Structure 1
């Protein structure tokens, strides 16, 4: 991760604001990141964080789908470990909106990318979310 990237810097500041209990400040920083995007990678990251700060599940889904659309156009490995998370986020929003067929498909897409996940707590959490989602949706 290129920490000199202005979009990533804004997202890091947003995550810090989020951790400090300042969600409104975080959202402003993520919106600034979105406005500052220079390529699909930047757009993917900024949209993913914006999705977390929506008041409506349909908007959360829209932003996560936007992040995913940009991620799949990135022509290198920077998003490989990010794809399972994006698919899970899309799946959870679709499931919340009652579209279980689409949600199952998104969980299946996430499952196809688990090989890119790290062997750590984050990877374990995502693998568990994928398994639980697939189990719930049959």
Structure 2
């Protein structure tokens, strides 16, 4: 089973709205939004995400544990390699809840499971890289370029994704005047989950975003992805300009 993270999915949009309310201090409205997401979820993938955000909001540890275990059970039901990236986070949160409840046996069991699922990504791709550079098959993309998101920051890694729309977004935001290009790439060495997105909004690395210190080899070009509208492009650039988040390089 291979599930693609879709920011236009109704449940994901509700959770993003809930996080926005949370960030602005409207906790009660945020919880209502996450409950709405849970009530409207139609499958285990949507329930896994909604339950995770409901768990985060609970003040009572037993309630937090109940929702976190619900999220985990939905994730386990899916049995998807992409969703497995969330297992370490879910098990770690469950372990913390048991610690708070002074249930050391269950705390240790879940901690051990969290550690078991940590490790290098097993994603087989295909992988994509978005840019405005005019490149050809066989060219190598290497680390050391300047960040598209933070002026003057030289990047120690080269970034890529298994999500064509994610690569398309990167192409739209890339510096340069060329046309937006999404290249199909293959890593030439080890790679890791992109820490700039992993566990930031959603558990694990649901957007299948990665980085490597080794070059990426271009093996083709993708022509089908969702193009941003002019309004969406402006909104993204505005959000980036306002963002104070640190880029983990």
TM-score bracket for the superposition, by shorter chain length: 0.7 to 0.9
TM-align CA RMSD = 2.2
C-alpha displacement of 1:52: 1.2
Residue 114 (structure 1) aligned to one of 118, 125, 128: 118
* Distance in 1 between residues matched to 2:79 and 2:198, nearest whole Å: 23
Which has the larger Rg?
2
Q: Provide structure 1 residue ranges, at least 5 long, that are not aligned to the other structure.
A: 125-138
C-alpha displacement of 1:76: 2.1
Deviations 1:66-96 (CA, angstroms, capped at 9, x unpaired)? 0000000113233121111111111110110
Residue 2 (structure 1) aligned to one of 1, 6, 9: 6
In structure 2, the partner of 1:54 is 58
> SS at 2:78's partner residue?
coil
* Distance in 2 between residues matched to 1:121 and 1:6, nearest whole Å: 24
- Between Structure 1 and Structure 2, the one with more strand by share is 2
In structure 2, the partner of 1:25 is 29
* Distance in 2 between residues matched to 1:103 and 1:35, nearest whole Å: 29
Q: Provide structure 2 residue ranges, at least 5 long, that are not aligned to the other structure.
A: 122-191, 200-249
Aligned residues: 126
In structure 1, the partner of 2:49 is 45
* Distance in 1 between residues matched to 2:112 and 2:196, nearest whole Å: 21
Are residues 103 and 67 of structure 1, via their aligned partners in 2, closer, same or farther at CA, if it must alter by over 3 Å?
same
* Distance in 2 between residues matched to 1:92 and 1:50, nearest whole Å: 16
C-alpha displacement of 1:120: 2.3
Runs of 4+ aligned residues of structure 1 deviating over 3 Å after TM superposition are: 121-124
In structure 2, the partner of 1:76 is 80
In structure 2, the partner of 1:135 is none
In structure 2, the partner of 1:133 is none
> SS at 2:53's partner residue?
helix
- In the superposition, the TM-score normalised over structure 2's length comes to 0.47
Deviations 1:95-114 (CA, angstroms, capped at 9, x unpaired)? 10000110111011111111
> SS at 2:36's partner residue?
helix
* Distance in 2 between residues matched to 1:98 and 1:121, nearest whole Å: 33
C-alpha displacement of 1:37: 0.7
